[in-house]
Chains A and B, each alone.
Chain A
Amino acid sequence: MIFYGLSSAYSVFLWRRGFRKDDRANYFLLLAAFVLHTVAMFERGFSINQCPVNNLYEATTFIAWTIVAAYLVIGLLPRLRFLGAFASHILFAMGVFALMPALDPPHAVQPDFSHGLTSLHAALILLAYGGFGLSAVAALMYLTQEHDLKFHKLRAIFSLLPPIQRLERVMNSLLVSGVALLTLGLAISPALLKEKYGVYFKNDPLLDYAIFIWLFYFGLLIAHRWFGQGGRRFAWSTVGGFTFILLTFWGFILLSQIHQHP
């Protein structure tokens, strides 16, 4: 959390400087945060003998981990390294949110999930949300650059931010990955429901929520691909979609019966 916080503060400095110089400091701050984050997740995973995606705290930190991991790969390209300056604020906010004590009940209560398929199901869906998160970060970068170009701000040309067309491509690729992962995660659900409740479908707020999210992003991709809904509208929809997830995901987890611990 300290490294995410440092990265977030440093990002403000980068923003004020107008992203004029290739700066690796932020990348390394997020790399350090990622290493510590990974160690913490491994320790928790080993302590409960399964993938740490069993409660709201773990789900939130897993999504954040996915975002930073994907950023570290994409950030190897110098022109996309500044994504970190946009991602760090979201990561820091997610970290602060995850630290709220009520989100992480004591581990004396053994989580409900009992085999690998369940962990895979949860991990795929949270990875998908991570993909949507990073896509929203790319969209924020797009909106910044697009606004600067549109209003002839000198920062648009002096900064080292990537061209907006490339950012749109990055947004699209991340959304495609997210939808694919969400599809796989949801495809496992019937098997899990059959095993536990003897049915292939059960009406549950979190399941309905995930289907709604899938429909939203799938629709967005269709509109982008076939109906020319690109540019600013696409970027705003991507940011809006992930903001919705950030604001509502925790509520639907709490409402869900089939995802509660015994």
Chain B
Amino acid sequence: MSVVAIGLSHHTSPVELREQFAFADVKIPDALKSLHESGIASEAVILSTCNRVEIYAATQLEPAQAFVELKQFFRTAHAFENPLGEEIYTFAEPQSLQHLFKVACGLDSMVLGETEILGQLKDAYALAHQHKHTGARLNKIFQRAFHVAKYIRTHTNIQRGSVSVASVAVELAEKIFSSLNERKVLVIGAGEMSEKTARALLSRGARSIIVANRSPERAQVLAREFGGRTVQFDDWAAEFEKIDIAISSTSAPHHILDRAKLELLMKLRKNRPLLLIDIAVPRDIDPAVNFLENVYLYNIDDLQSIADNYLKQRREEIVRCEKIIREKVEALLEAKRIQPQMDTVCMADSDANKIA
């Protein structure tokens, strides 16, 4: 019995196609049952996320035959009638196992090295296991995939650092403040990016969010969502005495905060550190404020440059990760080859003992 993988992902198909092949969670047990009853797979796991739909199957069929049957299953399950070409990829052993391990490690993800996929893969496996569609073969392979993902996370830099602007901002804040708990954040201009950044800060423990926006309705919506409060757009400067982090993303055509203005505000703050994140274009904050003591100003390019560097570091780790995965898959397949021989020897010993 060999393990095959078939599917489509963000690498091979657009979202319009992926959404047609997606399996709703409630329908997965029936789909697995159908795979089993049709004789295509003895064991199977279906992984269906926004970026990929994949089936991992342990089958008695020859891989070529299994791929034909699985493709047909895909089409039938989703009533898809158009022809399919390279959008669907297929892997036989050992590439199927290598692919599963790469997916578990986030090497095949849209955001290289992300960890969300590991949780999704665990959920997919748990669902199949719960409905008794996994057996000795897939259990062992999936457990090993989770183990390898953990190993790679701790022994390489593939998941190190932040690759989004919002999480880089959080990381910067953690380099300045002992802890993000109890930190107060002021959001000036409630754009999408500032919302993401504020959300990331809140998720790491920042205490309260104060929103100032030209449109008070939008400010109120955001403040309600974050459990914070709003201030009049013209009054945001009055909050500087209490806050620790300010995120600015207004559409103002000029600087809304300059050195002279901040110098006065810093005196009120008794020189406590202040992190300014200016994600507006054109910039909201005069770059000269960075020369003030205890002020740390980062604009969108600074943050993007850090995120790009992290991504570069992660890409440099891919070769190392792939080597580890190849070795782990070889070890797994080697163990599979040895096990039947061991079983044969044990049976022979047992027979010999009976004869004796």
Interface residues in chain A, defined as those with a beta carbon under 8 Å from any beta carbon in chain B: 145, 149-150, 152, 154, 156-158, 161, 163-166, 169, 228-233
Q: Which of B171, B273, B305 contacts A231 (CB 8 A)?
A: B273
**Looking across the interface, which residue of chain A has its beta carbon closest to that of B290?**
A150
Q: Most chain-B CB neighbours within 10 Å: which of A149, A161, A232?
A: A149
**Is B296 at the interface (CB under 8 A from chain A)?**
yes
Please state if A164 and B175 are interface contacts (CB–CB under 8 Å): yes
Q: Is A228 within 8 A of B271, CB to CB?
A: yes
Min CB gap B226→A, angstroms: 24
Q: Does B172 contact A (CB under 8 A)?
A: yes
Q: Per a CB cutoff under 8 Å, which of B177, B270, B272, B309 touches A163? A: B177
Which chain B positions have C-beta within 8 A of A166?
178
Closest to A161 in B: B175
Asked if B203 CB lies within 8 Å of chain A CBs, one says no
- Tell me whether B94 is interfacial, beta carbon within 8 Å: no
Which chain B residues numbered 280 to 302 have a C-beta less than 8 Å away from chain A? 290, 293-294, 296, 298, 302
Asked if B8 is at the interface (CB within 8 A of a chain A CB), the reply is: no
Decide if A230 touches B296 in the complex (CB within 8 Å): no
Contact partners of B306 in chain A: CB under 8 A? 154, 157
CB–CB A156/B175 < 8 A: yes
Bound form: Cα–Cα A230–B272 in Å: 8
- For chain B residues 175-193, which have a beta carbon within 8 Å of chain A? 175-178
Q: Is chain A's binding surface mostly helix, strand, loop or mixed? A: helix
- Chain B 263-274, CB within 8 Å of chain A: the 1/0 string? 000000011110
CA distance A150 to B298 in the complex (A): 9
Give the complex CA separation of A169 and B161 in angstroms.
Answer: 26
Is there a chain A Cβ closer than 8 Å to B277's Cβ?
A: no
A165 and B177 contact, Cβ closer than 8 Å, known pairs A157-B168, A157-B306, A158-B161: yes
How many Å from the CB of B91 to the closest CB on chain A?
35
A232-B293 Cα distance, complex, nearest whole Å: 7
- B171 lies within 8 A of A229 (CB): no
With contacts A152-B298, A157-B175, A158-B161 taken as known, whether A165 is within 8 angstroms of B168 at the C-beta atoms is no
Asked whether B258 is an interface residue with its Cβ less than 8 Å from the other chain, the reply is: no
| B87 interface residue (CB < 8 Å to A) | no
Q: Determine whether the beta carbon of A231 is less than 8 Å from that of B293.
A: yes
B293 touches A164 (CB 8 A): no
Alpha-carbon distance between A230 and B178 when the two chains are bound, in angstroms: 15
Number of cross-chain contacts by CB at 8 Å: 51
Chain B residues whose CB sits within 8 angstroms of the CB of A161 once the complex forms: 175
CB nearest neighbor in B for A232:
B293
B178, A165: Cβ atoms under 8 Å? yes
20 contacts between A and B (CB under 8 A): A145-B175, A149-B175, A149-B176, A149-B296, A150-B290, A157-B171, A158-B309, A161-B175, A163-B174, A163-B178, A164-B175, A164-B176, A164-B273, A165-B176, A165-B178, A169-B178, A230-B271, A230-B272, A232-B293, A233-B293
Which residue from A149, A154, A231 sits with its C-beta under 8 Å from B271? A231
Closest Cβ–Cβ distance, residue A17 to chain B (whole Å)? 13
Q: Which residue of B is nearest A148, CB measured?
A: B175
- For B294, what are the chain A residues with a Cβ–Cβ distance below 8 Å? 230-232
B290 CB contacts on chain A under 8 angstroms:
150
B167–chain A nearest beta-carbon distance, Å: 11
Q: Which residues of A contact B293 (CB under 8 A)?
A: 231-233
- Min CB–CB distance A207 → chain B (angstroms): 35
In the complex, how many angstroms separate the beta carbon of B244 from the nearest chain A beta carbon?
A: 10
- Residues from chain B with a CB closer than 8 A to the CB of A233 are 293
Instruction: Give chain B interface residues in 130-164, CB to chain A under 8 Å.
Output: 161
Given contacts A163-B174, A228-B271, 18 further A-B contacts (CB under 8 A): A149-B172, A149-B176, A149-B296, A150-B290, A158-B309, A163-B176, A164-B175, A164-B176, A164-B273, A165-B176, A165-B177, A165-B273, A166-B178, A169-B178, A230-B270, A230-B271, A231-B271, A232-B294
Which residue on A lies nearest to B313, using beta carbons? A158
The 9 closest A-B pairs by CB, nearest first: A228-B270, A166-B178, A165-B178, A228-B271, A231-B294, A152-B302, A165-B177, A230-B271, A163-B178
